[in-house]
Amino acid sequence: MSYRAFADHLEADGTPKRILSLDGGGLRGVMTIQVLRKIESLLRQRFDDEKMLLSDYFDLIAGTSTGAIIAAGLSLGMTVDEIDKHYCDLGDKVFKRSFWRRGFARQMYDAKAVADALSDVLGTAMLKDAKFHTGLLVVAKRLDTGSTWVMTNNPKAKYFAPNPDNPQTIPNGEYPLWQVVRASTAAPTFFEGEEIQIHSNESKDRADTVGLFIDGGCSPHNNPSLQALMAATMEGYKFGWEAGPDKLLLVSVGTGKADASVKVSSKLTDAAAVQGLLALKNLMEDCGDLVETVLQWISAPTPTARLIDRVAGLAGPVLGGGDGLLTYHRYNALFTQDWFDQADIGIQADASYLASMQEMDKPENLAKLRELGEAVARKQVDTAHFPTKFDVGVRVH
């Protein structure tokens, strides 16, 4: 027996579908990798195959920013160990501070180092030509138009193939994979935006159209779980998968939720610019909370549900009654003292630890992030979260 081919993963054939969603979060993505290693191990035991890949099980892997890097590697058939090595190498190469780069007049880090590292790992193939094992979805923000772009490797997607009626538009399928991922990771103040050519004016009577893309975390989809569900089930995205608690499994992995609270008595927070930045940070956390709340609201009850809003509780009962639109699980840590006090993961956290771990660009935190990710995986990931009803169609005769 073998596993599904790429086209079979995307096909709306009535079999259960499995989605993996990976948050943005800079170098905190090393936490995600440890959770993925636990999932990979559980699935290898389930299918009695020590070489099984996450791309053999999941039909669509969605990622934003650092999650897009991991998602792209997995969709190409990399093991979690391979992803881990590439990820740590990339962190060492990219996150090097310079006296001349402070994030005000110039971005803090060199975008060329990111581009070179991504093209080395992912290759230079276009989306239409890359040797994918399974579906991929990447979220980026196009700054010059203010629009969120959801790019997939689905050949049926609306903008994937050339349009005979508009031949000057470059289709998504002709974007290099590394550049799509680079666009999703272009966090403002950290890296320069990524320019992607959108239209080619062959007559040269006007300039080509170039889109300026920044980190997908600047959209509502730093946690791309809800967007992945929309893509899988909404007609416009051309996946056409069926909804239902026996039809869709969505596994969402976070990079740690930052503590967005501030001390209002602080003189620093009185500064208008600082208040603006703190408000933006809070807005991003609010978007993440809303994504989780909606997914808990529309899915079958999950043991991984968390109390997000003291009024809404765990967001029950299921919207519209019934058993829900999907089976959903979420793995994550919260960088608050209360969470660490109650999580029972064997890690003691004080204010200094919590403040440091929220930073997204500190390679010196990698060991501690790895430890935290392993603890989250041990505590939260359970084989029962991967019911055997979703094994249908993973292997083919």
Give tens-digit pLDDT for 296-316.
999 999 999 999 988 888 888
262 — pLDDT class (breaks 50, 70, 90): low
Angle subtended at Cα 104 by Cα 99 and Cα 108, rounded to the nearest 5 degrees: 50
User: CA–CA separation, 268 vs 168, rounded Å?
Assistant: 50
**pLDDT confidence of 102, banded at 50, 70, 90?**
very low
pLDDT surpassing 70 at residue 244: yes
* pLDDT, tens digit (0-9, with 9 covering 90-100), for 205-216: 556 889 999 999
The DSSP annotation for 119-138 comes to HHHH-S-BTTTS--SSEEEE
The region of weakest confidence among 11-15, 38-42, 115-119, 251-255 is 115-119
Least confident of 101-115, 176-190, 199-213: 101-115
Known catalytic residues?
A: 65, 215
Model confidence pLDDT, tens digit, residues 338-364? 999 999 999 999 999 999 999 988 888
Task: Reduce the DSSP state of residue 199 to 3 states and report it.
Answer: strand
Averaged pLDDT score across all residues of the chain: 91
Under 8 Å between Cβ of 21 and 291: no
Higher pLDDT, 49 or 270: 49
Structural domains in the chain, CATH included, are 2-396 (3.40.1090.10)
Q: Which of 22, 29, 70, 7 is nearest to 224 (CA)?
A: 22
- pLDDT category, 97, cuts 50, 70, 90? low
Long-range contacts, stretch 378-384, CB < 8 angstroms, 24+ apart: 378/38, 378/345, 379/343, 379/344, 379/345, 380/35, 380/304, 380/331, 381/35, 381/38, 381/39, 381/42, 381/331, 382/303, 383/42, 383/45, 383/46, 384/303
User: Is residue 283 scored above 90 in pLDDT?
Assistant: no
pTM score, whole prediction? 0.94
